[in-house]
Structure 1
Amino acid sequence: MSRMIETVVPARLGTGYRWLLASSWATNLGDGVAVAAGPLLVASLTDNPFLVSLAALLRWAPPLVFGLYAGVLSDRLDRRRIVIAADVIRVLALVVLVVAIVTDRVSVVGVLVALGLLATAEVFADNTTATLTPMLVHRDDLAIANARMQTGFITLDQLAGPPIGAALFAAGAAWPFVTEAVLAAAGVLLVSRVVLPVREREPAETPTGVWRDMAEGFRWTVRHPAVRTLCLTILIFNVTFGAAWSVLVLYAEQRLGLGAVGFGLLTTVSAVGGLLGTALYGWITRRVSLGNVMRAGLIIETFTHLALALTTSAWLASLVFFVFGAHAFVWSTTSMTVRQRAVPTHLQGRVNSINTISVFGGLVVGSAIGGVLATHYGVTAPFWFAFVGSAVFVVLLWRELTRIAHADERSQAVAV
């Protein structure tokens, strides 16, 4: 057992990181349970499409609304306590929801409020958790540490969590939320064992207004060529990705001839590919520079859109989704590692939140474009748009990618 633990989480990463990883995995499993159980609970209370769609909106809106403020708080306050407080709020919200379900006093509005509160607390917990890893792990080990974090997200949040949540909901509407509450409580206990190194307050950390803190994070990001380009890359590629993926359920049905189960399997196949990508991440980065990893990833994403635009075969599409899943999580781990190495500790929260805004902002814009294109030109039009847009941007970005990956080796910070 000790040998397996050493393989999965090497001792050199430190005891604090092991507690943090265990907490992250526990809460990720709970989040995955909620991904399925939340919409199922809303759908069991109403068949109004607008109200059902609100369940999805309330999951994706909080990062855009609260992301920057979460970043400011994580740079101002004790980061471990922020994670604990966010998870405690989740536990309390879940307890209230479970009581309402058990006593048959649950309403659609009450469920939507609870789901929104859970998603908002998750923004603060996830943003701050991302700033803890570089405080606990040596910069040379950040790649493997982030890969282990991503492994938990894939296996627990995306693979295991949703089917467990659906099965628990079938057994009783309250059970998935009881389970999530227990997992969130476990996350609190585990992260409370983490001992952070003492942070010396930087001059830039002198207490100021929230808006000035946000502006400082933006200025630093804009003035740092590598991180600025990285955020722009994520923003633009999520526009193209969001355009294609916004009509994925229609694409699976109309183009590939798949039903609901088949559509679900496409997501599962992608997650399995992601699991393989994170498992091989250490092997890959020992043999390939981060710059070339990023180049290969963007080429894979570009040709993913082309392949899906051309094929009508569910089997070929599944293979494409598998490869794309591997790329997506290798890219995510690489992007996180590059950012953590380049950004000063006192700005980690704010710069991470700007990256989050780039991610979700791109998805929102892309989804709107995809819907319009599919309505007027057919279900494959968003994939053609994604292919052309991605190809153009790869050409424009090609020379910058190696500089992005290794800029932190030349300079750890840019003066604000």
Structure 2
Amino acid sequence: MGSSAPARRERLLSDPDVFRYVAARIVSLTGSAVTFIAMPVLIYGITGSATWTSLVIVAEAVPYLVFGLWAGALADHADRRRMMVGADLMAAIALATVPVAFWFDSLTAVHVLVAAFVVRTIYVFFDAANQGALPTLVGRERLPAANALVAGGSTVAETVVPTLAGALIVVISPASIIAIDVLTFVASALLIRGIVRPLTGARPAQSTLRLSAVAEGTRFILRHEIIRVMIVIGVLVAFSAGSLMAILVVWADRTLGVQEGDWRLGMLFGAWGIGAVVGSILMPRLMRAFGGARAALIVLPFAAASGVTVALAETWLTGALAIAGWSLMYLVIATISVTLRQQVTPERLMSRVMTAGRMATFGVGYPLGAVAAGALAGVFDTDEAVLVCQLSLVLAAIIAWLSPLRSAPKRLDVAEG
């Protein structure tokens, strides 16, 4: 009989290097959860505009499209630990300008958007190194459990943090709350620096970084039919996520009657975390039982139904329940996609392939969803805007069931690079 999921997680955390890595990710993602709430509230408070609010999501997503391939190629050539530590420290400096400008009464909406863009650009380079570091640290066999552990731990924090942040926003400016995220970047850098084992696997001798190396990860994705389909599905799922997050504050205000400073806003964000916690527990079980490809086929129709349910919510309580269901499905699909790519990709291409996938989802799907939601919310009711954008999940489910995922084996081996 196989060991239980809690036992596997305990064994992972008994490894000091894995513990430091997981702690760094949870600390950093906790800070990001604070900024995730504070940034849209801050922009909406300054401008009162749904379009400006949606631009926060765009500013945070566009860097993947612009810098993703280069970041992945650099991470496959450079020392990943140094790259992650340096990125954390630079992000802390860039983000610190927001609360400092607020304290000196000179903060503008443009400043907030520029800061969001710069911090996200730095994060693209961090993430490129991070996506390649985890398989090296834990090994491919332990990837589903490790990814679920990181996702589950971070979302436990995200369950508590949004509620606390929502309460803090009542008495403290969102700009001041962002200072918490600055400190978490520094803490993450210190934890990653303390990891003893290498975060970069054995690689063949590599020449100077060239354009051909940058595109190699994309070529690998185009050749691998399962990963290719999962990327397309990922773009559609990210479109759904970007659209919902871009106008969540506006939707809460106009449809649910939950305004800025209302404690129920924190509860709505907290519902996201609760659903994701359940998803992080469910995901490795689904992958063990069915394999990643078949698990995606099972989950996607439920994800489509959850998106429509969000659009139909009329009270903050039904809205919170719908968001919890949506986030559960979102985390399962997103984590399955990431794990599949990590399991089949050779080490020498790991960061490039992972970042190319992130570029497609967060550089294309996410900002397009945000722009679409902002534009539709300016013309139609916000619940109608949410409904139209969530139809992308219906399309994702249809594509999945017409794709090679239906005949994919339960276990996928490392492909040739």
**TM-score tier after normalising by the smaller chain length:** 0.7 to 0.9
Q: Paired residue for 2:218?
A: 218
Is residue 400 from structure 1 mapped to residue 404 from structure 2 by the alignment? Answer: yes
Alignment of 1:110-125 (within 5 A): 112-125=113-126
CA displacement at 1:136 relative to structure 2: 0.8
The residue aligned with 2:3 is none
Letter in 2 for 1:270: W
Q: 2:320 maps to which residue?
A: 318
Instruction: Give the Cα separation in 2 of the matches to 1:275 and 1:118.
Output: 26
Equivalents in 2 of 1:42, 1:315: separation in Å?
25
Instruction: Report the alpha carbon displacement of residue 146 of structure 1 after superposing the two structures with TM.
Output: 0.3
User: Residues 12 and 99 (structure 1 numbering): CA distance in 2 closer, same or farther, change over 3 Å?
Assistant: closer
1:355 pairs with 349, 357, 363, which one?
Answer: 357
- 1:14-413 aligned at under 5 Å gives the runs 14-38=15-39, 46-47=46-47, 49=49, 55-94=56-95, 104=104, 106-108=106-108, 112-157=113-158, 159-160=160-161, 163-164=164-165, 167=168, 170-171=171-172, 176-194=177-195, 195-196=197-198, 199-202=201-204, 205-209=206-210, 211-240=211-240, 242-243=242-243, 247-249=247-249, 251-253=251-253, 255-256=255-256, 258-260=258-260, 261=262, 262-310=264-312, 312=314, 315-360=317-362, 361-371=364-374, 378-382=381-385, 385-386=388-389, 389-398=392-401, 400-403=404-407, 406=410, 408-409=412-413, 412-413=414-415
Cα deviation, 1:158-207, whole Å, max 9, x if unaligned, reads: 6416734872894578854553333222211110122216633236x433
Deviation, 1:263, is 5.0
Q: Distance in 1 between matches of 2:82 and 2:185?
A: 14
Q: What does the per-residue CA deviation read over 1:350-385, in whole Å, with 9 as the maximum and x for residues that have no partner?
A: 111221122121122234444555566654544554
Report if aligned partners of 2:218, 2:353 keep a CA contact under 8 Å in 1: yes
Larger radius of gyration: 1
CA distance in 2, matches of 1:287, 1:319: 27
Residue deviations 1:108-164, cap 9 Å, x none? 365554443322222222232121110011212111100111123323356416734
SS of structure 1 residue aligned to 2:412 = helix
Deviation at 1:78, TM superposition (A): 0.5
Q: CA deviation at 1:232?
A: 0.9
Instruction: Percent identity, please.
Output: 23
Q: What code does the residue aligned with 2:84 have?
A: V
Q: Following TM superposition, by how much is the alpha carbon of 1:64 offset from its aligned partner in structure 2, in angstroms?
A: 2.6
**Structure 1 residue 258, shift from structure 2 partner:** 4.8
Q: Is the 8 A contact 1:91 1:184 kept in 2?
A: yes
TM-score by length of 2: 0.81
Structure 1: which amino acid aligns with 2:337? S
Q: For 2:225 and 2:339, locate their aligned partners in 1 and report how far apart those are by CA, in whole Å.
A: 16
CA contact (8 A) 2:134 2:199 kept: no
Number of residue equivalences? 405
Q: Deviations over 1:291-336 (max 9, x none)?
A: 3321222011111233345554654443332222222112222111
In the aligned structure 2, how far is the partner of 1:43 from the partner of 1:384? 22
CA distance in 2, matches of 1:123, 1:284: 29
Q: CA deviation at 1:82?
A: 0.4
1:64-99, CA deviations, whole angstroms, 9 ceiling, x for partnerless residues?
Answer: 322222212111100111001101212333566666
Code of the residue aligned with 1:363 in structure 2: it is Y
The question of whether the paired residues in 1 share the 8 Å contact of 2:54 and 2:373 is answered with no
Secondary structure (helix, strand or coil) at the match of 1:206 reads coil
Which digits, 9 at most, give the CA deviation of each residue in 1:17-70, with x for residues without a partner? 2211111112112222333445566677x5585877655543333233222222
**Unmatched segments (≥5 aa) in structure 1:** none
Instruction: Assess if the C-alpha contact under 8 Å between 1:344 and 1:413 holds in 2.
Output: yes
For residues 207 and 199 of structure 1, the distance between their equivalents in structure 2, rounded to whole angstroms, comes to: 18
Aligned CA-pair RMSD: 3.6
> Is the CA contact 1:128–1:349 (under 8 Å) kept in the aligned structure 2?
yes
Matched residue type, 1:401: L
Comparing 345-354 and 175-184, the one that deviates more: 175-184
Q: CA–CA distance in 2 between the matches of 1:312 and 1:161?
A: 21
CA contact (8 A) 1:38 1:55 kept: yes
1:255–1:12 distance in 2 versus 1, CA, 3 Å? closer
The one-letter amino acid of 1:125's match is F
